[in-house]
């Protein structure tokens, strides 16, 4: 399954804004630079995420965008279901899509079940669990913003028996 560019940008926006220090906001232009996407695509994406309650936006000179607690707690499966709704996997699913084999098609059902399984697998993955200081720290520094700090956090080195250390695999 392939995600739309819109969903890809939305997930990047959530990861970046999720790493911002509490009380700090980002401009949409800084977000666009940070996620490597065109400004107008990011503004559209931010607007949609604000509408879903995952981001909050403040207008004006000292305004900006920040992630909400609901945005941090949201599951990737839930987000993708919302953002990918209406996206056709095959032409026959799209409005006006035509296929000569459409009568009692079993492929469409199989693809629908596969898509549902994909989303279910991502239901246990939450935005807050994906944010890594090593991932977003350099981006924040490049944007002249304070690098995020995760006290005892997701990037912490964890001691294991035998005095060796391993890093959290999710953070790598």
Q: What is the pLDDT of residue 45?
A: 97
Q: What is the pLDDT of residue 151?
A: 44
Task: Look up the pTM and report it.
Answer: 0.75
* Cα–Cα dist 148/132, whole Å: 9
Q: How far apart, in Å, are the Cα atoms of 63 and each of 25, 28, 59, 60, 118?
A: 7, 10, 5, 5, 37
Q: What is the pLDDT of residue 161?
A: 39
The answer to whether 18 touches 128, Cβ cutoff 8 Å, is yes
* Cα–Cα dist 14/67, whole Å: 7
Pick the closest to residue 16 from 3, 1, 28, 4 (CA basis).
28
Q: What is the pLDDT of residue 169?
A: 39
Beta bridge partners of 56: 66
Residues of the chain with pLDDT under 50: 151-172
Q: What is the pLDDT of residue 80?
A: 95
111-154 pLDDT, tens digit each: 888 889 999 999 999 999 888 776 666 666 666 666 556 544 44
The answer to whether 134 touches 154, Cβ cutoff 8 Å, is no
Q: What is the pLDDT of residue 149?
A: 60
* Cα–Cα dist 116/172, whole Å: 28
* Cα–Cα dist 67/56, whole Å: 6
């Amino acid at each position: 399954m392939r995600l739309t560019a819109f969903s890809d940008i939305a997930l990047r926006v959530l990861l970046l804004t999720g790493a911002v220090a509490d009380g700090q906001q980002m401009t949409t232009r800084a977000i666009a630079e940070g996620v490597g996407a065109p400004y107008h695509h990011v503004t559209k994406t931010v607007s949609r995420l604000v509408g879903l309650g995952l981001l909050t936006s403040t207008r004006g000179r000292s305004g900006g965008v920040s992630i909400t607690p609901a945005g941090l707690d949201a599951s990737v499966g839930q987000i993708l279901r919302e953002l990918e709704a209406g996206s056709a996997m095959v032409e026959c699913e799209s409005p006006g899509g035509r296929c000569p084999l459409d009568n009692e098609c079993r492929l469409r059902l199989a693809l629908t079940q596969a898509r549902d399984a994909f989303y279910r697998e991502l239901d246990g993955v939450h935005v807050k669990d994906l944010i890594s200081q090593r991932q977003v720290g350099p981006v924040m520094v490049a944007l002249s913003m304070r690098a995020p700090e995760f006290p005892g956090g997701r990037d912490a080195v964890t001691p294991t028996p035998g005095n060796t250390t391993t890093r959290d695999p999710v953070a790598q």
